[in-house]
Amino acid sequence: MSVVRAEWIKLRSVRGRLIALIAAAVAMVVFSVFSAAGERRHCSGPTGCPSLVVGPGGQAVVDSYEFVDRPLAGDGTLTVRVSSLAGAQPWAKAGLLITASTEPGSSYAAVMVAAGHGVRFQYDYTHDVSGPQDPPGAPAARWLRLVRAGDTVTGYASADGSAWTRIGAARLSGAAGVVRAGMFVTSPQNADLTEHPFVTSGAVLPTLATAAFSDLTADGAWPAANWTGRTVGPPDDSYPVLTGGSQRLGDGSLQISGSGDIAPAVGGVEGTGVTIDHTLAGGFVALILVIAVGTLSATSEYRRGLIRTTLAATPRRGRVLAAKAVVIGGSTFLLMVSAAALSLVLGKRVLLANHDLLYPATVAAQARVVVGTAGLIAVAAVVALALGVVFRRSGAAITVAVVAIVLPYILFQALPTGASEWLLRVTPTAALAIQQTLPVYRQVAIGYTPVNGYYPLAPWAGFAVLCTYGVATLALAAWLLGRRDA
């Protein structure tokens, strides 16, 4: 403890080093705010910039589809046969849906045929349950059934309309009284993208799917009303859609064409919004400054011969190294937590003022991003310190620290996805995963790539990779410090 206090006096009594640490914190806030200010959304349409659709779970969602529905006042059952579904997108969907209201973002449950993914039961945007597997030579026709009892909706599927398999059930929120129930069709956007170093170019285009429904039966508390066709979705173009519609065919079946998706919103170029890590871009500048300070806190002692005074005062050399790591890591962490929290608060304001759609994140996720980003920078400072002890010269130590920590940070944005994901598994930059707030959803087919904000490792697993480097470099430094002449 006394050695920690001594190292703290060392750090605070060299004004240049203290100023550099504080400058790193200030730079983080300034560059983060500037970077957020650079993310300005321009909308040329007559409705201006679209607003965010938020689902019942608090996530940003997409809620656009063609719906032919009737009000359902109490308990009831809806059964239908999807006789055909034509659409290029594997996640084009056609089926039955019960929703609390047709306002975008409402709570819902649906049983459906997905063009390339079989029968599914989905509810409240983020939940996806796979139905019975197709037997070999899958049937062209699927029978679907949705049963409402109170606020619970249960989905069934059948190959022949007589033997039913229950897939799943969901409790809807805000669905105590009259709900809307009926048939829906939707088809997600098609992304045609080319990855360049640092940039992805291309277009995200809407698609249309068409399905035929037959043998519709409705039992239960259905007030007298006609089946009504409508396009559900936000009035603005937050998700690219084509015009859908519905018509009665000659054989008595109902044909519905729909465009859009009922799913969680995604990050990156295929999403419409930005995630909260876009408020922390200045962390990169802080990282570089802190690496320099961390290295110098070791190498300056070697350069001046002061290391002999230090080790004569504390002959147990491991303690000296530990104290230095605690002081440089701890002070960096405390400064960076404040800087990251301030960057987040200010950056959010700037993004919203720029009409950017900021995806909501839970308080726990935001805290994890702020604490994790500060931790990332602090551990990097400790790695730099250890490298300073290993190399004893600023030039070599800073070079190695930059190559190990900063270079992968730049490279992963320039390399193809495969190489980029490899870098983000094995280099200290894996810790960036701590900033990911959007989960991967299998029911939304996009490029879950690092440049889109999806990292190959889980948040704390990525952070653990960096910590492993920290422990390994500290161990090497301790070993060398112990056996070498001072």
Q: Which residues bind other proteins (CB under 8 A)?
A: 2-3, 5-7, 9-10, 13-17, 300-301, 304-306, 308-309, 311-316, 483, 485-486
Between 51 and 314, whose beta carbon lies closer to other proteins? 314
Question: What's the closest the beta carbon of residue 17 comes to other proteins, in angstroms?
Answer: 8
Nearer to other proteins, 117 or 317 (CB): 317
User: Any residues with CB less than 8 A from the CB of 473 and at least 6 apart, and which?
Assistant: 383, 386, 387, 390
The set of residues, in sequence order, having a beta carbon less than 8 Å from that of 75 and lying 6+ positions away, is: 147, 148, 149, 150, 220, 221
Shorter beta-carbon distance to other proteins: residue 274 or 481: 481
Q: Minimum distance between the CB of residue 327 and other proteins, rounded to whole angstroms?
A: 11
- Assess contact for 108 and 148: CB atoms under 8 A: no
* Least Å from the CB of residue 302 to other proteins: 10
Decide: 186 and 96 in contact? Cβ < 8 Å. no
Q: What single-letter amino acid sits at 449? A: T
Q: What are phi and psi of 108, to 5 degrees?
A: -150, 165
Interhelix angle 394-401/283-304, rounded to 10 degrees, is 150
Cα–Cα distance for residue pair 328/325, rounded to 1 Å: 5
Cβ distance to other proteins smaller for residue 13 or 194: 13
Which two three-digit tokens encode residue 10? Answer: 């060392």
**Residues in CB range of 341: below 8 A, 6 or more apart:** 370
Q: Using the minimum distance from each CB to other proteins, give the nearer residue, 192 or 485.
A: 485
Residue with tokens 């490298």: 387
Q: Cα separation of 240 and 207, whole Å?
A: 8
Q: Are 256 and 94 in contact (CB under 8 A)?
A: yes
- Minimum CB separation of residue 479 from other proteins in Å reads 14
Question: Nearer Cβ to other proteins, position 46 or 305?
Answer: 305
As measured in angstroms, the least distance from the Cβ of 1 to other proteins is 10
Residue 15 or 196 with smaller CB distance to other proteins: 15
